[in-house]
Structure 1
Amino acid sequence: MLREINFDGIIGPSHNYAGLSHGNLAATRNAGHVSHPRAAALQGIAKMRANLDLGLVQGIFLPHPRPDHPWLRRLSTDYDAASPVLKARALSASAMWAANAATVSPAPDSGDGRCHLTVANLVTMPHRSHEWPATLAQLRLAFADPAFAVHAPVPAPFGDEGAANHMRLCAAHDRPGVEVFVYGEGGGPFPARQHREACEAVARAHRLSPDRTVFARQSEAAIAAGAFHNDVVAVANERVLFAHEQAFAEPDRLYAELRRLMPEVAIVEVPAAEVSLADAISSYLFNAQLVTPPSGETTLILPQEARDTPSVWRWLQAHVAGNGPIRQLEVVNVRESMANGGGPACLRLRVVADPATVDPRFLVDHARLDRIAAIVERHWPEAIDPAMITNPDLIVGIEAARLALLEALDCLILA
C-alpha cells in the first residue's frame, strides 16, 4: 500500500554556524555563534518521535562524511592546509536538510508507474555543491527496489535544490496528482537557486504528463526577503495549498491553473496585511510539515518560533477556529536547525511509496530512534565554536561519531 513517508536527515556531529548560505537570513545572522550538535540531533529525533505518535511513517537519512576529504583533494588541498572558508565548506552538516536531497514524483504520477527521485545538484552554494554524491549513494541504497527509479543530478549550471521547490496536490497520496515546480529568476540581492531549466529536466526524467505539471515562478519579493526556497513561503499536502500572499510572481494565474486541473483544491492564502513576509520567514510559518495523519485531519507541524510570533499564531488560531482546511497544529522544538536556517520542512523529504519496498535500514520506529539517540548522546559534540574547526581532536571526534552511528545501524557500506 502506498503511504507518504517522511525521511528526516539526522543532524550530523559537525553541525556548526559558519554562515555560508547567502540569502538565508537566519544562517547569516547566526554566523560565528556556538552550535550544539548533540542538542540539534536530539531535537530532530524528538520531532521524528512526534511524527510517529501522529501515526505517520518515518524514515531517516544519515549524516555525510565530514570533513569531505575527497572534495578537498579535488581542490588540490587537504583539511590541514585548506583556508578557513574551505574548511567550513568541507565540514558543513547541511545535508541534514533532506528537503534538498532530491525531487520525488510518486508512481501514480509517472509514465512508467515507478516512483522517481532525482538527486539535487545544489550547485549555487559551494558548501552544498559537494553533497549530491553521498546523497545519491543513500538514495540508491534506500530505494534499490524496482519500484523506484533514482536519477543522477541535473548538470550544472542549472541549479536544482530538490523538493524544497516542488509541491504535489492530489485527492489522496496514492492517487494521481498535479506536480508544481517553483523556480526563481535573478534581479534581487540574493541568488535564485532553482532554475526553470532544472525543473523541466526533472519533470522529463520523471515521465510526468505535461497536462498535470505546472511551472510557477517564485516572487522576487519573497527571494529578496529571505525565502531562498519556495518551502519558506508555501507548502502543499493532498488537496491543500498553504501559501503567503507574496509567495508567487503570478498567484492569480497559478491558482486558476490549479483549480482547472484539480477543482477540489483548497488554496489557503495568508494575507500580507495580517502576516508580513518578514514575520512569515522569520517564524518559518510555511516551512512546516503539512501532513495527513490516520485521523484524516490536515495537520501543520510548526516550529516553536511560529507560536512565539504574535501575528503568525493569531492567524493560525483564527484559521483553525474558523474551520479552515488545516485542522490541527503541532508545535516542535528544532531551534538548533532554525538558527542555521532550516525548519521542520527542511529536515524531511516526502516519498510516497509502499514501505515494504524501502530498505528497512532507512525506516525507524521508537526503538530504533532510541538506539540512534543513545549514539548521539555518547558521541556527538556538545558544542562547536567556529574557532574550533581547526582543532584536530574535534575532527577525529566528528568522524568517529558518524562511524559509530553507521555501525549501529548496519550501514557501514556508506562509510
Structure 2
Amino acid sequence: MDLLEKCRAYKRVDDLRDAGLYPFFPSFQGPFEGGRAPLDGATVCKLSSCDYRALSSDLHVIGAAQDAVALYGTSVSGPRVLGGNLDLHSELEADLAGFFDYEAALIFPAGYLTNLSVVSSLAGHGDQVFLDERAHASLVDGARLAQACGAEVHQFAHARPDDLARMLEGAQTRSALVATEGVFSHDGEMAPLEELVAVCEGYGATLLVDEDHGVGVFGAGRGASRHLGVEGRVPLMTLTFSTALASQGGAVLADARTVDYLRHTCRSQIYSAGLSPADTAAAHAALRELRRRAAAEPEAVAAAEHLRRALVTLGYQVGGGIGPLVPVRFSSDLALFSAHRLLAEHGVHTDIAAPDQPDCLLRVVCTDAHTPDVLDAVIGVFANLRNDLLGSLQRRGEFTP
C-alpha cells in the first residue's frame, strides 16, 4: 500500500455527507455580533464561538488591529529572534506578565503552538511528563515530541490528583512536568488545581496549567488558578488569544529565566514568523478591555447558567461546570450529528466535542453577547424540538456511527 492509500480509503466524512449530517467547516459570511452570525444566507444564533467576552467585534479591538496594519503592514515576515520582532510584541508580553502576575511572558504565533513548544522544549532525556488523560491535543502532541527526545510520558486519570500522586511516588526521576487544563475545553469542567498544586509541591514536580478557557472568565479575568486561590503557586501558565482575547496566537508565562530559555531554544520561535501586527495589537487591546472589566462578572457565565437550568428542566442531559460551556450529552454519534443538523436548520449553530473524545457531546458555548432575549429564543428551539432531539431521531441516508 502506498502512503496515500489511507487517504483514498478514508470514508468517514463521505458517510456523513451522504447522510446530510456533515457538521464541519461551516462558512460564515460575516462577523459574530449580538450573539448572531450570517451562515448559508441566513442569520443564526452562534453558540459555537469561544469569544467569551464578545470582543472580536469590539470597536477598540478592531481599531487597534487596523492601526497596526496601517503602521507595520500585514506581516513581520520572519522569526522574532532575527528580523521579525516588533515593539508591539514586547509591549504585549510586558502587559501579560503584569496582568497575570508573572515575571515574564513569551508570545507565540498560535495557541496550539504554545503548548506544543513549551512542553517539548522543557522536557527531554531523563525527564518525565504527566498529563491529565483529557488534556488538550496540543499538550499531548508536545509530550509526544518530548518523548521522541527521550522523555517518559504518562497519563493520570482525569481530574484525579490521587492518581498523579501515586505515579509521582513511583517516578524514577524528580525531574517531572505535570500538565493540565485549568478549565477543560471538552466539557467546561474545572480542574482540581488546589489538590494538583499540593501534589506537585509535595513531589517537586513542575506544574503547567493551560488557562485557555479560564482567562477572561474566572478569577477577575485571570483564570482558574486565581479563581481557586493558587495564583503564585503555578510555575507555568499558558493561554491562547483566540478565546477571550479575540485574536490569534498564544503565550506562556513563567519566571524570567525560564522565559529567556524558551525564547532562545523553542524551535517555533527560531523557525516561525512572529505573530502578525494585527493579531498582536488586537490581543493587546482585548487584554486592556479585560483589565477594565476585571471587577465585573462575565455575562457569559450568567447566560450559561440560565441556559443550563432551562435545558435540565426540558429533560436534556447537561454536564459541565460553572463556566460558559454547556455540554449536552447524546446517546450516540448518530443522535449527536442529527441533533446538530436539526438545530442548525432551525437557526441555532452549536459546537461538537472533538472526535477523539469519548463522550457524544453537543457543546453549547455562551458569550457576553448572548443576552436573555437571544437565549430565550434558543431555549424555545430546544423546547420545540425536544421530542425529535431526545426521541428516536430519524436515520438520514446510510450513515452508520
Give the TM-score normalised by structure 1. 0.29
Higher CA-based Rg: 2
Give the TM-score normalised by structure 2. 0.29
